[in-house]
Amino acid sequence: MQTDTLRKPDWLKIKLNTNDNFRYLKRLMREERLNTVCEEARCPNIHECWGEHKTATFMILGDTCTRRCRFCAVKTGLPGAVDRGEPGRVAESVRKMALRHVVITMVNRDDLKDGGAAIVAETVRAIRDEARDCTVEVLTSDFLGDRDAVTTVMDSKPAIMSHNLETVRRLTRQVRSRSDYDRSLQVLALAREIDPESVTKSSLMLGLGETEEEVEEAMDDLLHHGVAILNLGQYLQPSRTHLPVQRYWNPEDFDRLRETALTKGFTHCDSGPLVRSSYHAGSGYEEYRRKVHPLYRRGN
pLDDT band with cut points at 50, 70 and 90 for residue 186: very high
pLDDT band with cut points at 50, 70 and 90 for residue 73: confident
Conformational region of residue 166, where left means phi above 0, alpha means psi within -120 to 50, and beta covers everything else: left
According to the model, what pLDDT value does residue 24 have?
56
pLDDT: which is higher, 115 or 289: 115
What are the tens digits of pLDDT across the range 87-97?
A: 999 999 888 88
According to the model, what pLDDT value does residue 74 have?
81
The amino acid that residue 18 corresponds to is: T
According to the model, what pLDDT value does residue 129 have?
96
Cα separation of 258 and 127, whole Å? 32
pLDDT at 238 over 90: no
Cα separation of 131 and 141, whole Å? 25
Residue ranges per structural domain of the chain:
14-292
Least confident range of 9-23, 41-55, 74-88: 41-55
According to the model, what pLDDT value does residue 260 have?
98
pLDDT band with cut points at 50, 70 and 90 for residue 20: low
| pTM of the predicted protein model | 0.85
Q: Which of 151, 142, 250 is nearest to 186 (CA)?
A: 142
Element spanning 202, H or E: strand 199-206
Cα separation of 282 and 50, whole Å? 14
pLDDT at 1 over 90: no
Name the architecture of domain 14-292: Alpha-Beta Barrel (3.20)
What are the tens digits of pLDDT across the range 127-149?
A: 999 999 899 999 999 999 999 99
According to the model, what pLDDT value does residue 45 have?
47
